[in-house]
Amino acid sequence: MHDEPAPKASPAAKRSMQPLPNLNAVGVDMYFFNDGPMARGQKGMLTTPTEDWVAETFSPPYLFIDPGRRAAVVKISAPSREIGGKTFYLLHSNEKYDMLLGGLPASCAAGGEASLALIKLPSATHGWENGQRFVALQFEAAPSHPEEIRLHTPDAPHANIPPGYYMLFYVDCMGKPSVARMVRFDDQAREP
């Protein structure tokens, strides 16, 4: 058997094709910060690194509503405990708690309504989320103080709300949420 040279492409065919990548110009060495090599490939090899170190910054649109102002849950009249510089509150079913708010808008959008919600911390596994819950809460404004509301917690067993740690958000009448306050919603617990 003798070797025959490969047929050459015509100049017209070459012009219509994409240029081939220069694999010698690709560096695939990857490193942890100050920890040495993580994955290593030689220049020109078609290796795929085991990690993809890409980051994106997401700025949700609600942050641009009335910039420079953000509603805040200042204090809740519930048992609290500071852990690692964060305050955790304890909530029980069928209770009323007073909440002091700050950073509220001077005026509301037409038809805008405030809301209050609990979002359970997630517990993701194997590509699906099986623990997160959203619980809308009832509240009423305090007539004497415009930045105070009274929160009514639902009956957890009746509403099928599992005990655990939740993020409490107040969304003002402009649609801008507060930074979350951490709460433990658990009828059996005596401390956050």
CATH code of the domain containing 174: 2.60.40.10
Separation of alpha carbons 156 and 30, rounded Å: 49
For residue 88, the Cα-to-chain-centroid distance in whole angstroms is 19
- Residue 192: pLDDT band (50, 70, 90) is confident
Q: What is the mean pLDDT of residues 6-33?
A: 56
- pTM of the complete model: 0.67
Angle at Cα 15 formed by Cα 9 and Cα 20, nearest 5°? 80
Please indicate, yes or no, whether residues 81 and 176 belong to a single structural domain of this protein.
yes
Please indicate, yes or no, whether residues 50 and 96 belong to a single structural domain of this protein.
no
Q: How many domains does the chain have?
A: 2
Residue 8 located in a structural domain:
no
Residue 115 located in a structural domain:
yes
Task: Tell me which residue range forms the domain holding 80.
Answer: 61-185
Please indicate, yes or no, whether residues 96 and 163 belong to a single structural domain of this protein.
yes
Please indicate, yes or no, whether residues 82 and 168 belong to a single structural domain of this protein.
yes
